[in-house]
Structure 1
Amino acid sequence: MLNEIIRYVLDLGPTVMLPIVIMIFSMAFGMKLGDAFKSGLHIGIGFVGIGLVIGLMLESIGPAAQEMTANFGIELSVVDLGWPGTAPITWASEMALIAIPIAIAVNILMLVSKMTRVVNVDIWNIWHMTFTGAMVHMATDSYMLGIVGVIVHAAFAYKLGDWFARDTKNYFGLDGIAVPHGTSAYCGLLRSWLTQLLKRSLVFAISTSLLMAFRKNSVHSVSR
């Protein structure tokens, strides 16, 4: 019976399902029914808009891309949908209903246990964690492992938000703001590594230039 109910809700699609979920969580966090309904309605309208844009894009760009592949003899079998295409697909997956409460529960548990100071209010971008769970579910055919995927991704995102909150403050001037974004928070790690690499490269370049200038002056002095 429960599976039939879940399947029925999922079959409604993200345009209907996600506004309902957002409305329920908005009311759970103390919003009035009218405001919660407006929030859900805005999400639904946004999804319809995204769908229209993607449809127009595929209709206009698709034939041109096919002609290009035919003219250049390129065989392309993978399409990069980007987040506008991936998010609706993710919210339509079997992990969608359970992912939001799981990600919120992970956040609360980490806050209570003082494992993080991040309070994630970006409910929409929980779709990144949902995507990870959906991919694990598809790869392993295990719903429980899919849930584990959501948990692990959420925990890492919150910790990355902690680790790079200082950089957010120093660079953007935003005190008390973290960015536990599911698919970009890890860029903080790359930033640290690239910063060190660039610093070393800069020091190396300056040192090399000074050494070459010193050698050049030394040669001129000897020749004189």
Structure 2
Amino acid sequence: MVVPDVFLQSGVSSLLNSINSVIQSLGVSVLLPIIIFLIALAFRVDVLKAARSSILIGIGFIGINLVIGLFSENISPLAQQMVEVTGITLPAVDVGWPAAAAIAFGIAELGVWMIPLFVVMNLVLFAIGFTYTLNVDIWNYWHFAFIGGLVYMSTNNWLYSVAVGLTLGLFVLVAADWTQPAVEETFDTPGISIPHGTSAPYAVAAIPIHWAVDKTPLGNIEADPDAIQDRFGILGEPIFVGLAIGLVIGIAAYSNALFVAESWYAILTAGISFAAVMHILPMMVGILMEGLTPLSESIRNYMTSRFEDRDMAIGLDSAILIGHESVIASSLLIVPIAIVMSIILPGNDVLWGIDLATFPFFFALMVPIMNGNIVKMVVTGTILLIPLHYISSAVAPLLTQAAGSAGFDLGGRGLITSPVADAGSPATGILALIPAPVALAVGLVIVLGIWVALRMWPQRMYMVAGASEEKARETVERRHTGKGGGLLPNKLGSTVDTAGAENRSDD
């Protein structure tokens, strides 16, 4: 069973295939500016202002992709060199998120159908007040198709696979609502939330780990970028941090050939390339935000002027967050840790490659939770790497099978994987590896559990996700003092008393 016959007979499937082809061809750097432009016009933003901002958003995404590409081109060979030095053979090759996205959109027409189905679900849930987020980041719907595709490989049940994919979509909407106040406060992104299929599961999984880490002596270490620069002066600047990390990784990769000139060419290139990533990536994100900020403010002003009790957030790619210095520094530091772990973890099959450049998306939503503390972020990330390796190893056969089903050229590889995005994600471990009916039930329980907690104890929940007490209180006043414009109440029974919550110090 691929898709219900009625859909195939109606010709709708053919139309959606054409739309899917357009989406994949345009990519995020073209598609998202078009969507943002149309949304801006719908909210009565001046045409020229909307056009200028949308173009800047596209330029920002192109710049970000160029820098991430630079990172990937330099780190993948170093990672493989580090493993070769040990003589260990790891069968599951990391082909990276671009390949994972292409595979996801090609499995049993799941990607084709996931787009309209998720859009309808999002609009309905927004209308009834279940979510405050409108996820316009259509390109990244591939995450939902990816999960669904893995499930389809193991169950051959199209409807169930769609249900699991939409469950991930439901989760990222709820997670985006939960983290939105902290994201807005930390990154100065008013009216923006991050329903990203890679970032959200890792951030939610990081919350209890961070709580435990915070109880150890590590919790007393001040290691945000400002504290590091204050302590080390000019040597604490991002470019020197990037240079040092690049040199260390390069030396580790060529430790068996340090007396060869070509090795030092590669080592020095790695150092300068990593310094370039630390310096240039924030600039690219700055260009993106230059276009995004005036539009988000205009849209929020439009909504608040007409619907005083209605809160709304535009859901975007976590790429808008990865220029933060804590994100970049943590991402560079975790690279050698990930490579070493892949070598020493018993039973691991993952050979790191392209997805090493995806770590900024792994860390993006952890910044507010850990107040930008690089040590806490790296320690938490290291702990998360343990299940990530094993989940990604277990998923590799399914993903390889899915790649064959989607007509993806494996290039002679026996097994493929994409560890960070999303083969090693906690969401993948729950939704794709647990037996089908249990997985769907567990996924829905987690989603509804977070949703109910947000309604019962909103201020406390926003603070757990990294918002300050003041920001959490302001969000409670805006979102939870009425119906918020939806049909579902934002207060569940007499337990929720907004005024009382404001006066409780533990909230």
TM-score by length of 1: 0.62
Q: Distance in 2 between matches of 1:89 and 1:81?
A: 11
- 1:166 maps to 181
Select the residue among 201, 209, 218 that pairs with 1:186: 201
Superimposed CA distance per residue, residues 160-191 of structure 1 (whole angstroms, 9 cap, x where no aligned partner) = 00011111022112222111101211233234
Give me the whole-angstrom Cα distance separating, in 2, the residues matched to 1:78 and 1:133: 21
What is the match of residue 95 of structure 2? 81
- C-alpha separation between the residues in 1 aligned to 2:127 and 2:23? 30
Residue in structure 2 matched with residue 219 of structure 1 by the alignment: none
Q: Which residue of 1 aligns with 2:24?
A: 18
SS at match of 2:212: helix
Question: Could you say which residue in structure 2 is the equivalent of 1:212?
Answer: none
Alignment of 1:130-169 (within 5 A): 130-169=145-184
Structure 1 unpaired stretches of 5+: 207-224
Bigger helix share: 1
State which of 87, 102, 110 in structure 2 corresponds to 1:95. Answer: 110
How far 1:159 sits from its partner (Å)? 0.2
TM superposition shift of 1:86: 0.8
SS in 1 for 2:94: coil
What is the rounded CA distance, in whole Å, between the counterparts of 1:183 and 1:77 in structure 2?
24
Q: Are residues 17 and 125 of structure 1, via their aligned partners in 2, closer, same or farther at CA, if it must alter by over 3 Å? A: closer
Post-superposition offset of 1:194: 3.7
Give the structure 1 partner of residue 339 of structure 2. none
Opposite residue 75 of structure 1, the aligned amino acid is T
Asked if 1:123 is matched to 2:138, the reply is yes
Distance across 2 between alignment mates of 1:176 and 1:17: 25
Task: State the number of aligned residues.
Answer: 177
Shift of 1:20: 8.7
| Pair 1:65–1:139, CA change in 2 (3 A) | same
1:153/1:182 contact within 8 Å kept: yes
Whole-angstrom CA distance in 2 between matches of 1:126 and 1:202: 40
- 1:9–1:17 contact (8 Å) kept in structure 2: no
The answer as to whether partners of 1:102 and 1:150 remain within 8 angstroms in 2 is no
Q: Measure, in 1, the Cα distance between the counterparts of 2:26 and 2:218.
A: 56
Which of the pair has more CA radius of gyration? Answer: 1
Q: Which amino acid aligns with 2:162?
A: I
| 1:58-106 CA distance string (max 9 Å, x none) | xx96xx959x75x754332211112121111112222011010111112
C-alpha RMSD of the superposition: 4.1
Q: 1:163 to 1:8 in 2, by over 3 A?
A: closer
| Unaligned stretches of 5+ residues in structure 2 | 42-50, 222-507
Q: Contact (CA 8 Å) 1:137, 1:146: kept in 2 or not?
A: yes
Higher RCO, 1 vs 2 (CA within 8 Å, ≥6 residues apart): 2
Look up the equivalent residue of 1:131 and give its one-letter code.
F
Percent identity of the aligned residues?
A: 26
Q: Does the aligned pair in 2 maintain the 1:161–1:180 contact within 8 Å?
A: yes
- Find 1:106's aligned residue among 106, 121, 128: 121
* Paired amino acid for 1:190: A
